A and B are shown apart, each in its own frame.
Chain A
């Protein structure tokens, strides 16, 4: 069973701090990795994707991928209360399947 694992949280950080969200995946054949944000009562929206080992930065967000360790992370710098949401990690294997983790709930305290 191919899986994507995330700590369900909640992860609570003060406003302005760095939030660190982690994800591991079981299928070594996974090639593409995504971070989606889902606000309560809303549908997921993509915030970052990463294909290659290393870091990818986009504004306050940095995605990190380590294929040897089968590990993906998302760093949110200068966290804001509006970042409070559930963050879904997803991995796409060779083929059609995108496997989602159950998500990590993030609370940013003002």
Chain B
């Protein structure tokens, strides 16, 4: 595997379900990010991790819970989501936090029923 991978690629869940999104980067980067992309809206930064420490929590509802066990893996735990949370969730990584290029994974298309 190369670059940034995400699983699953598609997820349909009910509002009472609990699920997790997984991201793995194979680039030796120190920073990882979760973004939400909804139709016609800018990419919304959700969380930023630098060397496994969360450095940004962008006013995200507590029904989204990130986890970064090491610098290569990032999870987004989901519980009691709402239909408006349906979106494309993108993971990205960069060499360091700040003004460097971010490499994006393919995304998880989430639908909340």
B42–A101 CB distance below 8 A: yes
Q: List A6-44 residues whose CB lies under 8 Å from chain B.
A: 8, 31-32, 34, 42-44
Interface check A62, CB cutoff 8 A:
no
Number of A interface residues in the complex (CB < 8 A): 24
Beyond A8-B40, A95-B98, A96-B97, whether A43 also contacts B104 by CB under 8 A is yes
A44–B99 CB distance below 8 A: no
Ordered by A's residue number, 13 sampled pairs between the chains whose C-beta atoms are within 8 Å are: A32-B100, A42-B106, A43-B90, A43-B104, A43-B105, A44-B43, A46-B101, A88-B42, A92-B98, A92-B99, A96-B56, A99-B45, A100-B43
17 additional A-B pairs beyond A4-B42, A90-B43, A100-B43, beta carbons within 8 Å, are A8-B40, A32-B98, A32-B99, A42-B106, A43-B90, A43-B105, A44-B43, A46-B101, A49-B101, A96-B48, A96-B56, A96-B97, A98-B99, A99-B45, A100-B45, A102-B40, A102-B41
